[in-house]
Amino acid sequence: MAATESLSPSDLSAIQAEQGPVTMHMGAVLVFEGAIEHEEVLRRFHERIHLVPRYRLRLDEAHLGLARPVWIEDEDFDPARHIKRLALPAPGGDAELCELVGRVMSSALPRDRPLWEIEVVEGLAGGGTALIAKLHHALVDGVGAVDIGAALLDPTPEPLELPPPEDAPAEPERAHNRVEQLSRIAAARIDVPRKLAVSALTRTLEFDPVTAARQARESATALRALAKIREPAPDTRLNAEIGRDRVFALGRGRLEEVKAVRRAAGATVNDVVLAAVALALSDFLAPNAPERAVALVPVSVRDDSDEPGAGNQISTVFCDLPLRGEPLDRVRAVHAEMERIKASAEVQAGALMVGATGFIPPIVSSVAVRALAGPRLFNLVATNVPGPQQTFYMAGVAMTEIYPAAPLNPRNQALSIGALSYDGGVYFGLLADRDTLPDVADAASGLERALATLVEAAGAAQV
């Protein structure tokens, strides 16, 4: 692997957004039906780290913000510093697991080592084991996060033999020295991703502070213009100043039932998931629920030419979630809204939110990052990632469930809802600010009820 690797624009945005109570790590909770030893997880990672080489990289932030940070090999990399062992208190149920996940997600990842951790959690009810994976958004996106499964999981109970290639280096390359760093600073003015070279933010190749500051103001202005394209999101208790502590809740559904609703409403699986969120919010925000809520929905824009592990390639859209109306009508309304958005300028404006700050030196690009906290563009983040539809194993033990956890950003956004489908199930992970939404478990229960309501409505529509 090369001595350094550039951050993509959205990777850089994630690094810059991590200020104060905002932490930009994402999470996943993998639940196994039997016991898995901490030593087994550690051994597996030692053997398969070559499958996910980015997990050996740490962030190197240039002096004084004069150049974009890069990934470099961690010469002191040791999986034992990242893979830890915890135990749940009795009875080891959902409540105890969620409490632990909330505590794990509350602390920032150390910047002096690769930006990931795994907690091996023992003591689940019935003798099960959970893994809490904590990964910085700059390292992987919602699609790439699944790559960590390559280092841990097998498609059959019998573990696969996956030796490193014969030409793999025995030791990671050493970190670059001060001369290299100065060279990188000098070269920063031409480090522009080719695919996005048409952007107005890349027209000036020379690093001129006045020009860079103007570009930052233009980025911020574009973000504010986005607020004028749409009506502001309604004022709800989901949008309060957050603190550092997080709380987690989970919910479950069946993919075949979601698909039945999709067919009945003439929509997509993602539309059904968003409509279920809408139904759950109607109850969760009662009696003061507005007519709509606005969800920020991340969308992967990777194409076939993007190399695996090449960093984030993400755009975003803002979707109105109807908090009034009949269940299937809400699914159809979400579907119509998503179709309208895809044909509008809002897709480009949403992409600017993610990408704009990556094209100008970080010493000034935080201007555009701060602009996100100004207009109330959305009430919550809602993500849906399609996962594998087969059983995976670790050390012969089946993984039965997997729950995502999306970060809270900006600092006035107190709830993120993630959905991930796996092996016939749909698993919801809700991450929230502990002080603002201590009752987030009620929203998770509401999601399960919402799915049941949609399934019932779909069945009635078929009669």
**Residues 136, 109 contacting (CB under 8 angstroms):** yes
Query: Looking at residue 179, what is its pLDDT?
Result: 43
Give the DSSP letter of residue 154: B
What's the pLDDT at 225?
Answer: 57
Binned at pLDDT 50, 70 and 90, residue 265 comes out as very high
pLDDT band at 229 (very low <50, low <70, confident <90, very high): low
Q: Is 378 helix (H, G, I), strand (E, B) or coil?
A: coil
CB distance 423 to 415 below 8 Å: no
For residue 115, pLDDT beyond 70: yes
Would the pLDDT of 139 be above 60? yes
The verdict on whether omega for the bond into residue 287 sits within 30 degrees of 0, i.e. cis, is: yes
Whether the ω angle into residue 410 lies within 30 degrees of 0, i.e. cis, is yes
- The confidence score (pLDDT) of residue 351 equals 54
Question: Per DSSP, which regions of 88-160 are E strands?
Answer: 116-122, 129-136
145 against 101, higher pLDDT: 101
Which pair of structure tokens corresponds to residue 295?
Answer: 């969800």
pLDDT level of residue 346 (50, 70, 90 thresholds): low
Among 58-67, 200-209, 282-291, the range with the most confident prediction by mean pLDDT is 282-291
Q: Which residue has the higher pLDDT, 180 or 292?
A: 292
- Fill in the amino acid letter for 157: P
CA distance 447 to 277: 6
pLDDT grade, residue 283 (50/70/90)?
very high
Q: Is the pLDDT of residue 220 over 90?
A: no
Q: Where do we find the tokens 């992967």?
A: 300
Cα gap 43→27, rounded to integer Å: 22
- Mean of all residue pLDDT scores within the chain: 80
Domain edges within the chain: 224-382+430-462
Distance CA 430, CA 251 (A): 8
Q: What is the rounded CA–CA span in Å between residue 225 and residue 210? A: 22
- DSSP H or E stretch at residue 402: strand 397-405
Residue pair 6/138 in contact by the 8 Å Cβ criterion = no
Residues 2-29 have a mean pLDDT of 80
Three-state secondary-structure class, residue 330 = helix
Whether the Cβ atoms of residue 251 and residue 440 lie closer than 8 Å to each other: no
For domain 224-382+430-462, give the CATH number. 3.30.559
Vertex 342: Cα angle to 332 and 344 (nearest 5): 115
Q: Is the pTM of this model over 0.85?
A: no
- Determine contact, residues 36/119, Cβ cutoff 8 Å: no
**Mean pLDDT of the 114-143 span:** 88
Question: What's the pLDDT band for 453 if we cut at 50, 70, 90?
Answer: very high
Q: Which residues pair with 426 in a beta bridge?
A: 253, 421
